Structure 1
Amino acid sequence: MSQFFQKKHCFDEKVKSYIFGFLLSVLFTIIPFFIEKNHVFSYKISRFIILFCAFFQIIIHFIYFLHLNNISKNNWYLMSLLFVFIIVFIVISGSVWIMFNLQHHAMV
Structure 2
Amino acid sequence: MKLPRLQTKLQAMKPKQPRLEPKKNWGSGRGGRPWRRLKQKIHTRDEWTCQCCGRVTMELELDHIKNKAQGGTDDESNLQSLCVPCHKEKTQKESRL
TM > 0.5 between the two? Answer: no
Q: Give TM-score, length-normalised by structure 2.
A: 0.30
**Which structure has the greater CA radius of gyration?**
2
Q: Give TM-score, length-normalised by structure 1.
A: 0.27
Q: Return the structure number with greater strand share.
A: 2
Instruction: Tell me which of the two structures has the higher relative contact order, counting C-alpha pairs closer than 8 angstroms and 6 or more residues apart.
Output: 1
Q: Return the structure number with greater helix share.
A: 1
